Amino acid sequence: MLDVDVSPAVIAILMLATLVVGIFSGFPLGFILAGTGFIFGILFMGDRVYGLLIAKSGHLLLNYILLAAPLFVFMGNMLGHSGVTEKLFGTMHIIMGGLRGGLAMATIFVATIFAACTGVIAASVTTMGILALPPMLKRGYDKALACGTVCAGGTLGILIPPSIMIVIYGPMAGISVGQLFAGAFVPGFILSGLYMAYIGIRCWLKPELGPSLPIEERRVLTTMQKITAMSTQLIPPLILILGVLGSIFAGIATPTEASGAGAFIATMLAIAYRRFNMTVLKDTLYGTLYITGFLMLLTVGAGVFTSVFTYLGGSEFATAVLTAVPGGKWGSFAVMMFIIFIFGMLIEWIGSIFIVVPLFTPIAAELGFDPVWFAIAVCVMYQTGFLSPPNAHAIFYLKGVAPPEVTVGDIIKGVWPFIGLIIIGLALITIFPRLVLWLPDLIIGIR
């Protein structure tokens, strides 16, 4: 332990600077967080750091709600293998194909339904990339528009419940995950609506960007057959949505219990569609274990960092700095959103959220923001991180399954308009906070 008198402000700046250097070193973020916290704890706390870290790590790893994370990941991965999305997209392809930009709007529609059945973006982006991108390119769609549509639609899975981001966010901020699920529902559908409106308007003004299907393709089914097919294909995902979110909103089950039910229903759907086999089960389990292990490493590492940072006065310093920003609380809010945007561009969302939430939650409370509203605003802003290079996971997931003629440049060009639409969505819930809060206030008994 150093026998020197160092102010909390200096310690906070040094810890944050060390963290930034570590992030750019390319070393795993969990170890960077834990190492930075431990070193500064030894230097300025001495032996007291051991008790603090043991208590904090034990509290995080024994948190019951975090059990929902691997089960929701399993559910999303298994659903991606089930064939539900393929059949729904095939039906919507025919129903909406007659519109200018209809295939792109059908992609957003199916991605929105898929998002309400999964909590991860990898499955959503890759599945929609395989299903939707080749038909759009084959029919002469603009490559940038088609790629941007798949990336933006796929990232809705991290916002629309059951969202892994919200499952992680809730315990760290001390907010009910059920309330956050209810609060995220409307903003998620607002973004979906904005995306579809943008595609429809742009393709109406420039038909060559998204031409409609030839009439002979649209006449494959009669109107009644289209209605029947759509209704039939919507039933399986609706069963999953009602089984998971319905039980939470009705107060019947906790998010952790509902995640177990969702994993079971997704497996049953894969069996019903004759897609379940040992290879699918192995791939689903391996993918779940990989993400869960990564999550737990970050959970412990971030717990170490934030515990030491808070103990040494870093939180008070950060609060003092951000609450002193010109423009009052909205100036502070704008700065926090900008920081989240930059973090999303540079590092994994899981890692950055473990840094942002413990720091920004008390600041938001100090500024008088509703905790549920602020949490959803943060989650909406994190949507940009999946689309903003260089750390844009949606772009790289899509490139991995895209046809050879699609370049990374095409995808990057296509996502920028959707980033602007996310900012518009954030502005809407900021101007009209009841868009977020009315459903949590309406539903009684969410656990």
Alpha carbon dihedral 80, 81, 87, 93, in 10-degree steps, equals 50
Phi and psi, residue 274, nearest 5°: 60, 40
Residues 6+ apart with CB under 8 A from 8: 312, 313, 314, 316, 317
Q: What is the pLDDT along the chain (447 residues), one digit of tens a residue?
A: 665 667 778 888 888 888 878 877 767 777 888 888 888 888 888 777 777 777 766 666 666 667 777 888 888 778 777 777 666 776 776 777 677 888 889 889 888 888 877 767 777 788 788 888 888 888 888 999 999 999 999 889 888 888 888 888 888 888 888 889 899 989 999 999 999 999 999 999 998 888 877 665 555 555 666 667 666 667 777 777 777 877 777 777 877 888 888 888 888 888 888 888 888 888 888 888 877 787 777 777 777 887 888 888 877 777 788 877 888 899 999 999 998 888 888 777 777 787 888 889 988 998 899 999 999 999 999 989 888 887 777 888 888 888 888 888 889 999 999 999 999 999 999 999 999 998 888 875 554
Structure tokens at 69: 């994370």
Distance separating the N- and C-terminal Cα atoms of the chain = 44
Which among 414, 435, 441, 430 is positioned nearest to 142, based on CA atoms?
414
User: In a 3-state reduction of DSSP, which class is residue 174?
Assistant: coil
d(CA 150, CA 130): 10
d(CA 434, CA 13): 37
Residue with tokens 């059945």: 117
Residue with tokens 């002469």: 140
Residue 31, CA distances (Å) to 43, 52, 61 in order? 18, 18, 16
Structure tokens at 66: 């975090």
Give pLDDT tens digits for 275-308. Answer: 888 888 888 888 888 777 877 777 777 778 878 8
Residue 402, CA distances (Å) to 86, 104, 137, 179, 304 in order? 17, 15, 10, 37, 40
d(CA 195, CA 432): 19
Give pLDDT tens digits for 87-124. Answer: 677 677 677 767 788 888 988 988 888 887 776 777 77
Per-residue pLDDT at 447: 46
